[in-house]
A and B are shown apart, each in its own frame.
Chain A
């Protein structure tokens, strides 16, 4: 089964609204990362967040290891936030530190 589930799969916001993206894991994890990607673009690391809460500007990530979930909160969304947000986890105990990715949340921010 799918080890990393992201929700929602897509989201449309008006500029200025807040967004909450979720990532749930079916197994225990060593760490997780959030990435941002524009269509046809590179992966931009947004957060490396093995546990707890991290904030960077308008973005906040919270990872709760015991509950096997992580969230990405975007406050006061801007048109330039549009794109795909991917979460990925390194399963606990797996060799090689490989990342398992979710399929992503496609965010569209309208003016």
Chain B
């Protein structure tokens, strides 16, 4: 069974609206990550977390908030969705820092109109 799940799998949102993407992992991993994928840019890190109730900024955090209420759950929040945030979003988890393997969820396709 899938160890990293995401919901929803796809979503259409309106500009200026609030969007919450959810991620759940059953790997018992400490680290969780949110990446976005755009054509021509590969995947880029938005936010990550290494413990519940704490989040860290990644390489492109502007316009996004993250929340880690428990070890298993990690959310990405777009308070005011914009057209430029149309992308595919991937969640991942890993056991430790220092180069451990990352396990990815199936992705969420977000379209902002």
Q: Which residues of B contact A29 (CB under 8 A)?
A: 99
Checking A41, A97, A102, A103 against B102 with a beta-carbon cut-off of 8 angstroms, the contacting residue is A97
Assess whether B41 is in contact with A33, with CB atoms less than 8 Å apart.
no
Assess whether A103 is in contact with B42, with CB atoms less than 8 Å apart.
yes
Question: How far is it, in angstroms, between the C-alpha of A42 and the C-alpha of B51 when the chains are bound?
Answer: 26
Interface size class of chain B, counting residues whose CB lies under 8 Å from the partner chain: 20 to 34
1/0 per residue, CB under 8 A from A, across B28-59: the answer is 00010101000011111100101000001011
Point out which of A43, A97, A101, A104 has the most chain B C-beta atoms below 10 A from its C-beta.
A97
**Count of A-B contacts judged by CB separation below 8 Å:** 65
Residue B1 is within 8 A (CB to CB) of chain A in the complex = no
Q: Which residues of A contact B41 (CB under 8 A)?
A: 103
Residue B94 is within 8 A (CB to CB) of chain A in the complex = yes
Interface of B is mostly: strand
Q: Which residues of A contact B94 (CB under 8 A)?
A: 97
Question: How far is it, in angstroms, between the C-alpha of A94 and the C-alpha of B31 when the chains are bound?
Answer: 14
Q: How far is the CB of B12 from chain A (nearest CB, A)?
A: 15
Q: How far is the CB of A6 from chain B (nearest CB, A)?
A: 9
Assess whether B97 is in contact with A48, with CB atoms less than 8 Å apart.
no
Q: How far is the CB of A87 from chain B (nearest CB, A)?
A: 10
Assess whether B99 is in contact with A30, with CB atoms less than 8 Å apart.
yes
**Sample (12) of A-B pairs whose CB atoms are under 8 Å apart:** A31-B99, A31-B101, A33-B101, A42-B104, A42-B107, A50-B99, A90-B99, A97-B94, A98-B48, A99-B35, A99-B45, A101-B43
The interface of chain B, by Cβ under 8 A from chain A, is 31, 33, 35, 40-45, 48, 50, 56, 58-59, 90, 92, 94, 96-107, 109
The interface of chain A, by Cβ under 8 A from chain B, is 4, 29-31, 33, 35, 40-43, 45, 48, 50, 86, 88, 90, 95-99, 101-104
The 5 closest A-B pairs by CB, nearest first: A30-B99, A31-B99, A101-B42, A48-B101, A101-B43
